[in-house]
Structure 1
Amino acid sequence: MPRRATIRDLAHRSGVSIATVSRVLNGHANVAAGTRDRVLHAAGQLGWHGGRATDGDVVFVRCPYVLSDYFGLIVSSVVETAELHGMSVMMNAGKGAAGRSPLPALPDRPGVRGAVLILPPEPTEDLVMLRDRRFPFVVVDPRTAPPRDVVAISSAHFAGARSLMAHLVGLGHRRVGIIGGPREWSVNDGRLAGYVTPLIELGLLPPSELLRFVTEPNEAQGHAAACDLLDLPDPPTALVGFNDKIAVGILRAAAERGLRVPADLSVAGFDDIDVSRATHPMLTTVRQPLAELGRMAVTMLLRMIGGHELDALHVELATELVVRDSTAPPPSM
């Protein structure tokens, strides 16, 4: 597969700096006419089109999960942003896509210029293979910690979880149950570390009896884990879920036991998807910029396709604590 021209190649061919090439490609006026002509001539010789689409340009989008409100928001944003830049999209999504991995064949697919991989289940070795073949791709919400030189974008999970637990601690909660996600997901590690930090700062080490983990972060498994925690001899005064769907399961378990939320039990989630505003009471949660994750992924991919260097390879977007009606001081206060 022939190597695509980079911005460095343009600078070398035209005899100017990378900064000058960038100004020409971005249409800046403060470039001498002769210099501009030289750069554009070099671009024509090298077949450069700067990450902008031409006929047949395709971005491959892999999301081997049900396109629910979480994944659906990210995928929709990726598709809309890619099409805004004139690129076509090849989708590999839904549970049916979770079988044989398409990654090894991606560099050889005609017309596919790059890929956006959303929570890819493939092992790190597959990502390294794509990197070594110089195939542009961006990982969104990586399942495991990506290699240092693989471009990845995610939310600030640790900071978001820490702000949520600090909110509960500030209300007076000390016995807080935590329902985490799949143990092998790095995002679970980040959120769990964020949840326990405010408690540790008070000298409280969360007991293992208040920790539960699910294999799939959905309402049903959240309900089952919440039942275990609420049936303890000394139940928690607050429960936090790995995501909003787990929090919905917690609300159901509380209602089955006649517990009022938040008078008897505070409940919080993570993500701020639509369901967080459809519950009664509405959920306190942490807002992830899901649509921005998709937009940023395409922007970074286009820069890679265009040969631009990325100074920040692992990018975290800020989260925001959203306090609603499902949290209050514990009943003893």
Structure 2
Amino acid sequence: MAGSSARTRPRTTLAEVASSAGVSVATVSKVVNGRTDVAPETRERVQDLLDRIGYRPRGAAARRRDVRPAIELAFEGDLHAYSAEIVQGVVDAAAPTGTHVIVTRRPTGAPPVEGSPDDWARDLADSGVRALIAVTSIMSDEQLAALSRAGVHLVVIDPLELPNADVTSVGSTNFVGGLSAAQHLLDLGHRRIAFLGGHLGAACNQARMGGFRAALERAGVTVPAEYIRSGHFMYADGVEGGAALLDLPVPPTAIFAASDEIAVGVMEAARARGLRVPEDLSVVGFDDTQLARMSSPPLTTVRQPLTEMGGVAVRTALRLIDGESIDSHHVELATELVLRESAARPADRPSG
């Protein structure tokens, strides 16, 4: 009879576990499903009760608990030198923690998610992703809410929008970088200085252009409207935009490019016109990727600490996964002007 009694003992329900733990059924469900948006002490109390009754999750919940936590690193468009620096930083920071990194990309202009935002976010969570690191990305309110409901944390690198308290992000001192680039060209004696930027509406591009304008205004140098152009941070934009600037009736003697890829494109546009860098045209880039070191001549550029930004993004994501608080929703790392050989005094202003 005792054996029969044991066999017919009713199975403890999640509602009973919730009552014993003093929490809601939804909170118990989050613990069962491996969600991270539960306070550590609450998670421990609920898990202890689940362990005592021998509860074992089934189906999707079991799969989620058995999957090793991962971070997804998402890019839009083709991967370039800029992307490689970020990937290196993310992988280097994740490796010592045993965290998997999944790198994904979607074509430029493609919808950010397939299906509903909730389906997309649940698919991420079911695959073991506990944090999404999105590079130069914009998330809608619906996508942010879906990620939160699925327990997937978001960190954005180089946000296209101005930082806000709803999105954790990592960037660099873009305004200071633009200021230092323009000031260097001014110090060399240039006064006809153009700016060739990336996405016109991108916050980082606006900040770099703002620093550029501030330096020239402080020096009393007027920037003609035709000396300001925008593109998409890519080599082809540098070739096309550089050609347009160099074909002006009064072309600039120096160009500050908002990325290394744009800068190398400008150098090609100059070469195609028989102009020498830096003798006939000075060029300064932004990022300090491998392109800057490999170009001919080596590129003077503003170093954006891309690998460090990737590392900070990972460490921030892991803190969020562990339920820890973070000091600030937006972190900016310092930029630094790196002098090489692509900028010199203009031909009409010899040294001395």
| Aligned 1:238-249 pairs, distance under 5 A | 238-249=254-265
Structure 2: distance between partners of 1:197 and 1:163: 10
Identity of aligned residues (%): 37
8 Å CA contact 2:36, 2:321 repeated in 1: no
Q: What residue is the counterpart of 2:171 in the other structure? A: 154
Q: What residue is the counterpart of 2:132 in the other structure? A: 115
The Cα of 1:262 is off from its aligned counterpart by 1.4
Q: What residue is the counterpart of 1:95 in the other structure? A: 107
The reply to whether residue 319 of structure 1 matches residue 335 of structure 2 is yes
- Residue among 68, 75, 92 paired with 1:63: 75
Structure 2: distance between partners of 1:154 and 1:262: 30
Kindly tell me the number of residue pairs found equivalent between the two proteins: 299
Structure 1: distance between partners of 2:142 and 2:211: 29
Question: SS state of the match for residue 160, structure 1?
Answer: helix
- Residue among 239, 258, 267 paired with 1:251: 267
The aligned amino acid for 2:159 is P
Question: SS state of the match for residue 191, structure 2?
Answer: coil
| Aligned 1:151-230 pairs, distance under 5 A | 151-214=168-231, 216-230=232-246
The reply to whether residue 231 of structure 1 matches residue 259 of structure 2 is no
The Cα of 1:323 is off from its aligned counterpart by 0.8
Flag the structure with larger Rg.
2
Q: What residue is the counterpart of 2:30 in the other structure? A: 2
Q: What residue is the counterpart of 2:320 in the other structure? A: 304
Structure 2: distance between partners of 1:248 and 1:85: 37
Q: What residue is the counterpart of 1:23 in the other structure? A: none
Q: What residue is the counterpart of 1:275 in the other structure? A: 291
Structure 1: distance between partners of 2:46 and 2:336: 43
Q: What residue is the counterpart of 2:86 in the other structure? A: 74
Structure 2: distance between partners of 1:281 and 1:267: 10
The aligned amino acid for 1:69 is A
C-alpha distance after superposition, 1:262-301 (max 9, x if no partner): 1221111111111112222111101111111111111001
Which runs of 5 or more residues in structure 1 are unaligned?
Answer: 14-39, 48-52
The aligned amino acid for 1:2 is K
Q: Are residues 128 and 157 of structure 1, via their aligned partners in 2, closer, same or farther at CA, if it must alter by over 3 Å?
A: farther
- In the superposition, the TM-score normalised over structure 1's length comes to 0.81
8 Å CA contact 2:121, 2:150 repeated in 1: no
Structure 2: distance between partners of 1:184 and 1:320: 24
